[in-house]
Amino acid sequence: MITFDKEELLKIAELSALKLETEKLDSFAHDLREVLSYISELDAVEPPQTLDIHLHVNVFREDKIHESDSARVLAQAPHQKDGYFVVPKIL
Amino acid sequence: MNSFLSIKEIKSLIQKKQILPQEVIAFYHKRLKTFNPQLNVALELFNERELTTNVTQGPLVGIPGLLKDNIAQEGKINSCGSKILSNYRATYDATVTQRLKAAGAVILGRTNMDEFAMGSSGEFSAYGPTLNPWNGKYSPGGSSSGSAAAVAAGLVPWALGTETGGSVRQPAAFCGIVGLYPTYGRFSRNGLVAFASSTDEVGPLTRTVYDNALIASILSGHDSLDSTSVSQPKTDFTKLLNGKIPSGLKIGIISDALQSQGINDEVKAAFEKAVRQLESLGATIKTISLSDLKYGISVYFILSRAEAASNLARFDGTLYGQRRGEEQGLSAMYIATRDEGFGDEVKRRILLGNYVLAAGHREAYYAKAMRVRALIREEFENAFSDVDVLISPTTSTLPFRIGHESKDPLAMYISDYFTVPMCIAGIPALSVPCGFSESGLPIGFQFIGPRLAEPLLYQVAYAYEQSTDHHLKTPAGF
């Protein structure tokens, strides 16, 4: 049985930088509990350890310099100054 | 001009000088303007004055289309159906956008979608649901809801969707059109906003198999800007479309799909009729059991949520999009921005993703899911040593009623049962119409092949389509 309570939900929400309204806590916890209980079906499968999990191959490209248009990228930031992103003071 | 002409037919009219490209563009622009208020397919229609192309030679000169709003179009809003990016403008064209423009295509706007492509009904868009043109009480499917509905209603001849677990094929089936989930890496994803990077792909939506193969040909070819792009040259997928299936073709029916719980009787009947049709075209039919596919949904739950939680961490009000709560400090800004910017479904997925990735859970969830993923991939590989192509219904049900399934997230997630396994395995699948329910709702089925089997899938699907008339039916009122 999956025990996923409100406290656990709040902790995950904090890690996710999400705020959950109090009135929605129960329904979120319920939805997540349902999904976790569904995926517990995987407990019954034990794939052989010899299976190749990753199909990673190295992809190389030439080490060439490309022009980048940082001014246009910066222009999309909510707050920017002198070519930098501006965020609230942290110190 | 008939609104439901295929790209092939429009091209022929243009070639014979019976219509000018500019007239085609104006015609479809007007149709979109007329019907968008009713269907909500497009989040933006571009100004008619800018709808033109300088390209004079190319496979799509003057052929208008639409792009899903998670694909970058330079200078245009790129909202992904989310409030958090409501003011974000793409600074460059996605590679697929570039290739379509270079082929002469004219893009008329951006289509509606479930927020960040997370949904199966289009109802999780921050900008309201899209309606199914076959019946406005029903969903067109999702997450490529606007793209599929626009093509089905004859508002454009083609549109691009994107798929992570079924988001092209399921709306294609629900709207009675053709949709491709390509081999992983077949089309570039440079300029596609990421949801779950190990299965995200771009796929064309069209009314005919030929048109789909044509758009796919334009998208194909390696792209050095996407490190997951397969090293395949540009490919002409229309080449093998001769109306015949290869002699000795062996097709496998995924029997588990038909025996699964909750499969709709009308979907089953339409699929069985399609099987008989393929048999009459000369295919040898075999029934195959792929018993590990049933774990597809669980594997997808874990991997897609984990990847989404990581990919969506970048939306925090710093680099782009909306920013809230700046005056309360950095952490408060992150939280306020994400709280206001994301809808509930996106939050649900981020939460589950961070839960399965959290210390102490990773081995039990993520690592396990990766191993079962390999098992599913291997099961497909074994099947393809026995048959050339697999088939199954695209969806287990008829289109959802709007406001119905979206209230029960788990039921909606499980509805991806037939589409998710191919995404997990990274293999191509092409959904084509195979009939209608008694109530007039479309039904689709899919051809599934091994990696890079798109040419064969198109060939077989084309032969099937040409021997039926489902693709010639059009929704009333458009």
Residues of B in contact with A3 (CB under 8 A): none
Residues of B in contact with A72 (CB under 8 A): 91
Residues of B in contact with A79 (CB under 8 A): 323, 326
Nearest to B339 among A4, A19, A32 (CB): A19
Chain A contact for B93 (CB, 8 A cutoff): no
Residues of B annotated catalytic, as ranges: 68, 143, 167
Q: Which of B78, B79, B91 to mutate to test the interface with A (most CBs of A within 10 A)?
A: B91
Question: Do the beta carbons of residue B276 and residue B467 sit within 8 Å?
Answer: no
Alpha-carbon distance B348 to B339, whole Å? 12
Query: Do A19 and B335 make contact, defined as CB atoms within 8 angstroms?
Result: yes
Among chain A residues, CA nearest to B184: A55
Tokens for B217? 């040909």
Query: Do A34 and B410 make contact, defined as CB atoms within 8 angstroms?
Result: yes
| Bridge partners, B77 (sequence order) | B89
Among chain A residues, CA nearest to B322: A78
Question: CA-based Rg of chain B, rounded to a whole angstrom?
Answer: 21
The tens place of each residue's pLDDT in chain B, 478 residues long, gives 899 999 999 999 999 999 999 999 999 999 999 999 999 999 999 999 999 888 989 999 999 999 999 999 999 999 999 999 999 999 999 999 999 999 999 999 999 999 999 999 999 999 999 999 999 999 999 999 999 999 999 999 999 999 999 999 999 999 999 999 999 999 999 999 999 999 999 999 999 999 999 999 999 999 999 999 999 999 999 999 999 999 999 999 999 888 877 789 999 999 999 999 999 999 999 999 999 999 999 999 999 999 999 999 999 999 999 999 999 999 999 999 999 999 999 999 999 999 999 988 888 899 999 999 999 999 999 999 999 999 999 999 999 999 986 677 777 778 888 999 999 999 999 999 999 999 999 999 999 999 999 999 999 999 999 999 999 999 999 9
Could you give the 3-state DSSP secondary structure of residue A17?
coil
Query: Do B358 and A12 make contact, defined as CB atoms within 8 angstroms?
Result: yes
Q: From chain A, which residues contact B within 8 Å (Cβ)?
A: 4, 8-9, 12-13, 15-20, 24, 28, 31-32, 34-36, 38-39, 41-42, 45, 47, 51-54, 59, 61, 69, 72-73, 75-79, 85, 87-90
B14 C-beta neighbours (distance < 10 Å), count? 17
pTM of the model: 0.97
